[in-house]
Copies of this chain bind each other. A is one copy, B any other.
Amino acid sequence: MFSKQDFPNMDKFFRRNLINSLSGFKSVNLVGTANKFGETNLAIFSQIFHLGATPALMGMIVRPDVVPRHSLMNILETKYYTFNHIQESFFEKAHQTSARYQVSEFEAIGLTEEYSKNHSAPYVKEANIKMGLKLREKQELAVNKTIFVIGEVQEIILPKDCLLEDGFIDLEKAGTITCSGLDSYHTTQKLTRLTYAKPDKKPNKF
């Protein structure tokens, strides 16, 4: 057990690992961007979350201490960006995007740019599930100077056989992985889906 009083005395790296692990498994994505000259950038983010379905919005937290913050600069410059799910077949390359390269991470680590006709932000060709987003709002959080980026989903690309009749995406079938902490990657194994909860009966598996 740790209490708040322990945090300031912890080794900085110990504290970062501890607090980054603490929320649970995360929605890790590769974020694809380009500047106005078409120079691309690819970066791994794990502070990504669903914000709402109508309109379809996604939130992302950008740390203030990530310098230089090319992804954020490109998003502000062009307004468009992509989220690309990560699969086991390229998770080591995805992790490697966090190194500081002088050239595009696509080129440096060997992932393939792919484009839709609707915007100029690059997708990761190797990713099975991906979406294009348009910047809706950006704010700096007063509590710790992190940047909160809100984007509206413009398009969704996914394998047909991973989409169920009710709209649910079978992420496991698509090979999407998850992460914990700053550096641990995990595949998943489905327990079950559960029916909508009502007070008078147990949920059914399906």
Contact = CB atoms under 8 A, between A and B. Distances in A.
A52 to B, nearest CB: 4
A100 B199 contact: yes
Interface string A10-25: 1111111111111111
A166 B29 CA distance: 24
A123 B177 CA distance: 29
A188 B189 contact: yes
B29 A23 contact: yes
A16 B57 CA distance: 11
B194 A95 contact: yes
B24 A171 contact: yes
Interface stretch (A31-39, A42-50, A67-75): A42-50
Contacts of A24: 26-29, 48, 85, 171, 176, 178
Interface string A188-201: 11111111111100
A184 to B, nearest CB: 5
A171 B83 contact: no
Nearest to A195: B183
Interface residues of A, number: 106
Given A54-B7, A59-B61, A203 B19 contact: no
A136 interface: yes
Contact of A1 (B58, B146, B157, B178): B157
Contacts of A97: 197
A36 to B, nearest CB: 23
Nearest to A164: B17
Of all A-B residue pairs in the complex, the 9 with the closest CB atoms, nearest first, are A17-B167, A14-B167, A24-B27, A21-B169, A25-B178, A99-B197, A186-B188, A19-B53, A18-B167
8 contacts: A11-B167, A15-B56, A18-B156, A24-B178, A25-B26, A25-B177, A95-B203, A186-B190
